[in-house]
Structure 1
Amino acid sequence: MIYLALIVVLVAIDQIVKFWTVQNIALGETIFDNPIISLTYLQNDGAAWSMLEGKMWFFYTITIVAIIVLSTMIYKNRNDSKWLTYGLTMVLAGAIGNFVDRLHLKYVIDMFQIEFFNFPIFNVADVCITIGVICIFIYLFFVAEED
């Protein structure tokens, strides 16, 4: 149950930040510009670096499969390592957050831009996926070895 609550909260935060971005930043505009991070409103109909741009059928299919697989893995591992189950939960929340955009808008709203090196503009859902993958790696390389 805690995993479902976490998914709901993370998807809500993702959607609220995206709504705020659309309401307060013009498309392509950058605000809060500083040497570390800025906010730039971008509509991305691909993946990172606009890979697979416009291939919505691909993203729909992959996301539906991911939701089913991740949900099953969370359920089956719910009593195992917290690193694994929280990692899977974070990845699932991120996948759902971006899926909502793709279904509703046909693109994903991105806004966070790292200024000190070339990195794609990203959103809260992407952060959830990244943190989730890090948790899964910690489980695989450190925790699972102990079991």
Structure 2
Amino acid sequence: MRLKNPLFLIVAFVAVILDQLTKYWVVEASSFWPLETIIDSKTGIPYDRNTLPLLQGIFHFTYVKNDGAAFSIFSGQVDFLRWLSLGVSLILIGLALFGPVLNRWDQLGYGCILGGAVGNGIDRFALGYVVDFLDFRLINFAVFNVADSFISIGIVCLLIASFQKTPTSSRRLR
């Protein structure tokens, strides 16, 4: 059987591998990083977390256990998010294997999104939370991970693909 959308699955595989390797490294290495005290914005209670400043005050590796989705929405709803990740992943795998032949941008986009969904899904099923660590402090952005980055890149690829598609003719038959 010849795959219709090989780039789709290759990109997804690479995304999952990169995501899981970086998360493994963060979990193993973070215990050697300095501690910083943070005040929880919701409760006002201080807590410590490991962070490695690469550019002080601009970009850090900060180990965070996120039991929610992007920007911690659906926080604490691990079961819902774990099954949502699985459902999205299965739909995208079905699209790759049984859907139409996709153009390069669509394959890149869907592959990145699949890789991100699988990467975060693995964390949710195995750990009950997602490992986040990319901390852009200059713009006070939420801490995120490689899987989240692939999902964002995938969305950009799909936007590019949508601009490249020519609209179908709207001529009426006489």
TM-score (norm 1): 0.89
Deviation for aligned residue 1:3: 3.1
- Contact 2:16–2:119 at 8 Å: present in 1 too? yes
Q: Are residues 123 and 99 of structure 1, via their aligned partners in 2, closer, same or farther at CA, if it must alter by over 3 Å? A: same
**Percentage identity across paired residues of the two chains:** 32
Deviation for aligned residue 1:146: 5.9
Of 118-127 and 56-65, more deviation after overlay is shown by 56-65
**1:28 correspondence with 2:46:** no
Return the index of the structure with the highest Cα Rg.
2
Q: Which residue of 2 aligns with 1:84?
A: 106
Counterpart-to-counterpart distance in 1, 2:88 and 2:159: 18
The letter for the 2-side match of 1:61 is W
Q: Which residue of 2 aligns with 1:127?
A: 149
Find 2:9's aligned residue among 4, 7, 16.
Answer: 4
Counterpart-to-counterpart distance in 2, 1:20 and 1:118: 24
Counterpart-to-counterpart distance in 2, 1:107 and 1:68: 20
Deviation for aligned residue 1:51: 1.3
The letter for the 1-side match of 2:77 is K
Q: Which residue of 1 aligns with 2:124?
A: 102
Q: Which runs of 5+ in 2 are unaligned?
A: 1-5, 32-47, 169-174
Counterpart-to-counterpart distance in 1, 2:84 and 2:127: 18
**Secondary structure, in 3 states, of the residue corresponding to 2:49?**
coil
Find 1:19's aligned residue among 9, 15, 24.
Answer: 24
The letter for the 2-side match of 1:11 is V
Q: Which residue of 2 aligns with 1:58?
A: 80
Q: Which runs of 5+ in 1 are unaligned?
A: none
**Structure number with higher helix proportion:** 1
Counterpart-to-counterpart distance in 2, 1:2 and 1:83: 10
Counterpart-to-counterpart distance in 2, 1:38 and 1:10: 22
**1:46 correspondence with 2:51:** no
Q: Runs ≥4 in structure 1, deviation > 3 angstroms? A: none
**Secondary structure, in 3 states, of the residue corresponding to 1:40?**
strand
Of 62-71 and 97-106, more deviation after overlay is shown by 62-71
Counterpart-to-counterpart distance in 2, 1:61 and 1:103: 9
